[in-house]
Amino acid sequence: MPLKFFISAFLFCSIFFTVSAQQKTWSNKVDSVLHLMTLEEKIGQLNQYTDDLTLTGPATVDNDKASQIKNGQVGSLLNSLGTTRVRSWQTMAMQSRLKIPLLFGQDVIHGYKTTFPIPLAEAASWDMDAIELSARIAATEASASGINWTFAPMVDIARDPRWGRVMEGAGEDTYLGSLIAKARVTGFQGKKLGGLDAVMACVKHFAAYGAAVGGRDYNSVDMSERQLWEVYLPPFKAALDAGAATFMNSFNDVNGIPATGNAYLQRTILKGKWNFTGFVVSDWGSIGEMVNHGYVKNDYEAALSAIRAGSDMDMESRSYKNNLAKLVKDNKIPVSLIDDAVKRILLKKFELGLFDDPFRFCNTTREQQALNNAAHVKAARAIAAKSIVLLKNENHLLPLSKSTKTIAFIGPLVKPLLQNKGFWDVTIPGVDSNFIVSQWKGLQNKVGASSTLLYAKGCDIEGDNKAGFAEAIAIAKQADVVILSIGEKRDMSGEAKSRSNINIPGVQEDLLKELLATGKPVVVLINAGRPLVFNYTADHAPAILYTWWLGSEAGNAIADVLFGDVNPSAKLPMTFPLSVGQVPIYYNHFNTGRPATNDNNHIYNSSYTDLSIFPKYAFGYGLSYTDFKYSDLKISKNKMTAKDQIDVAVTITNTGKYDGEEVVQLYLHNKVASVVRPIKELKDFQKIQIATGASKTIHFQINAQKLSFYNQQLAWVTEPGDFELMIGSSSADIRLKTEFELVK
């Protein structure tokens, strides 16, 4: 055997044996702890409460948490922030008979102290390194602040912008969503669990929560098995393959069975077919809520259903605490079922090193350092800028010149601080939440002393008060350029924030109309947690940046893009509808038997008589200050077998005036198959940097995995046939096409 191979084989074997030896040691340790536990203590490990400091769900009054912790009746707390507070709870756990440490969970969704763009915005970056880095930094800060476990990433595919939680995911696409799921899990968990800067990821919400009927939060989901497997499950599998330590189930029912009591999802798929060895936490109160679903009669039955179905930890419903012992006594469940759940939880406590030192995440000096790290702030600014989508830029109005004499910055979102954080931010006691650069401050930081900056609020986000219009118009008239910052409030999207009206609220677009009437060039910033409908703005404003909620560095990042220090490169991760009447709308739909191809004819085809079928902005859309030409699409062959590969080459040239980045997207269409296939599906992409005037040839590989799908029997197969290959700058802007055949 050549030495090189010998060394790698040796390394592989020793790593493998070290890992499995380690697992064995942990498993022995888990067994030895389990052996000492009473049934009540075991049930305690499955019980999770919120700290009363913050509530992220309906509160249950419980003044007895401290004594329950001291009695070993609680396994985990959520919403406890900061080393001091975490230490005080952990000290109580250390007074329990077996001194089993508590796990501290928290929704660290888009940053901890340093706040990053909301996940949907960050998904627009299509930049996996950036996304992983933001999760890495969030984990570094949170773990230094006592947290062991984040309830993220949310990997629910979402095709309905009315659903408030679209802000928390990666959008509508399964392929992009799967890559992002992996990047986030890798970022949160770092090199390995047990590292002082790692937190456990919790992949949520298992499963299909994003398909809630009507976009109403917590609503039912009715979905075919094929859609479940093909569209909704892959991001969960990708997160699992990336090593995700835990899963959270969901509030919704799937085809009539609540996810929390769903043995098919949790036992057959997750713990069976996928061999998941971590544990599943319920969503807040979702075990008890099975009574409301009408799936079980009472809390006793709810606990029975959940534990049988594979829900290991009960977040906040107290169903396990109040019923599991009786269920054992009544011979409804064997203790082994409880043991399995306890072992899964204890294993993670061992892996995190909490048994070695329950206070290892409670070092105040480390906390101070992690929460005041200039490198984190720098990364937040860069990632925020990467997430801004340039939707329109008539006559190259943007970027603005830094020596523009007079700039009027108008709108209800120019000066507020907290708004920039978006939903699911974290408020750490005693930590300054003014650590946010407002949009106003960002502009001030950017322009030189020779520029005059004028400000007017103009109007509120909501309501019909136009009293501020006159002042706004007056300053617009004095300016060379107007920047108008409008949109949603930060908490108009998020959990329990579904909306039937997703237009820009209030009189904000009326204000734009008045400002445009001054004849001044107006750049519009749209701040939101979801795709909004803003047709007046889209049709009349000369330049639009979709700025979402960008986090603590929002102001600086927006200024970086406005003035061209960063050339925008983001692409929409969700389709933006023309009207809420089109929802759900997504790019990878079927063709139907009567496809509509244009808006002029809606007789006997699949269209609306009163509305276009086309979205306002397509999935994958986003402009740059420069232009890219696509040319020379070449495939290495036009026939392949399932064992072969085709190499795809395409050349991209930066024909504009600025250096820039382009997301080159590869879509496939399986033209005829034994089950109908979408008109196109994203199967690959590359984000490339190209200097002005330069060209780059990039390559993609087509292999069987990219051509496979679930057939009628739900087997993952390839079928011989013709495929259309499309290379585009968005799902609707296909620049080059070719075809190839998959043969036997």
Q: Which residues bind ligand BGC (CB under 6 A)?
A: 56-57, 78, 107, 151, 204, 283-284, 495
Q: DSSP states of 442-464 as a string?
A: HHHHHS-TTSEEEEE--S-SSS-
Other Cβ atoms closer than 10 A to 674: 12
For ligand BGC, the closer of residues 259 and 544 by Cβ is 259
Shortest approach of ligand BGC to residue 280 CB, angstroms? 13
Smallest separation, CB 156 to ligand BGC (Å): 10
Known catalytic residue at 64: no
Q: What distances in angstroms separate CA 392 from CA 383, 550, 586, one per listed residue?
A: 21, 19, 21
User: Residue 466: how many CB atoms within 10 A of its CB?
Assistant: 15
- Cβ nearer to ligand BGC, comparing 497 with 680: 497
167 and 549 Cβ atoms separated by less than 8 Å: yes
Quote the radius of gyration of the chain (alpha carbons, Å).
27
Rounded Cα distance, 210 and 218, in Å:
9
* Sign of the four-CA dihedral 150, 315, 258, 335: positive
Q: Which is nearer to ligand BGC, 55 or 418 (CB)?
A: 55
Identity of the residue, 112 or 284, whose beta carbon is nearer to ligand BGC in the bound complex: 284
In three-state secondary structure terms, 129 is: helix
Query: In one letter, which amino acid is 435?
Result: F
Q: In the Cβ-directed half-sphere of 573, how many Cα atoms lie within 13 Å? A: 35
C-alpha distances (whole Å) from 97 to each of 92, 101, 351, 405, 660 are 11, 11, 21, 71, 61
Relative orientation angle of helices 319-329 and 299-309, to the nearest 10 degrees: 80
Among the listed residues 283, 314, 491, 560, the single catalytic one is 283
What ranges make up the beta strands (E) of 333-435?
389-393, 406-410
Residue 179's Cβ-side half-sphere holds a number of Cα atoms within 13 Å equal to 20
Shortest Cβ 57–ligand BGC spacing (Å): 4
Strand partners, 485: 525
CB of 424 to ligand BGC, least distance (A): 9
Nearer to ligand BGC, 55 or 633 (CB): 55
d(C-alpha 669, C-alpha 622), whole Å: 22
In the complex with ligand BGC, the residue whose CB is nearer, 47 or 665, is: 47
Q: Cβ of residue 81: shortest distance to ligand BGC, in angstroms?
A: 12
C-beta atoms surrounding 81 within 10 Å: 24
Kindly state the smallest distance separating residue 545's Cβ from ligand BGC, in Å: 29
Cβ proximity to ligand BGC, 253 vs 495, nearer residue: 495
Nearer to ligand BGC, 426 or 479 (CB): 426
Q: Are 258 and 286 in contact, with CB atoms under 8 Å apart?
A: yes
Nearer to ligand BGC, 107 or 367 (CB): 107
Buried b vs exposed e over 407-436: b needs ≥16 C-beta within 10 Å? Answer: bbbbbbbbbbbebbbbbbbbebeebeeeeb
Q: Do the strands 660-670 and 681-690 form a parallel or antiparallel pair, or are they unpaired? A: antiparallel
Alpha helices in 600-663 (DSSP H): none
- Distance of closest approach, residue 111 Cβ to ligand BGC, in angstroms: 15
CA 449 to CA 291: how far, in whole Å? 64
Instruction: Pick between residue 42 and residue 497 the one whose CB is nearest to ligand BGC.
Output: 497
Nearest to 72 by CA among 45, 36, 90, 39: 45
CB of 510 to ligand BGC, least distance (A): 36
The pair of three-digit structure tokens given for residue 54, joined into one six-digit string: 């913050």
The nearest distance, CB 703 to ligand BGC, in angstroms, is 35
| Intra-chain end-to-end CA distance of the chain, in Å | 37
Residue whose C-alpha is closest to residue 260's, from 212, 213, 209, 185: 209
- Smallest separation (angstroms) from ligand BGC to the CB of 495: 6
Phi, psi for residue 109 in degrees, rounded to 5: -95, -45
CA dihedral (90, 92, 97, 102) positive or negative: negative
Q: Which residues are marked as active site?
A: 283
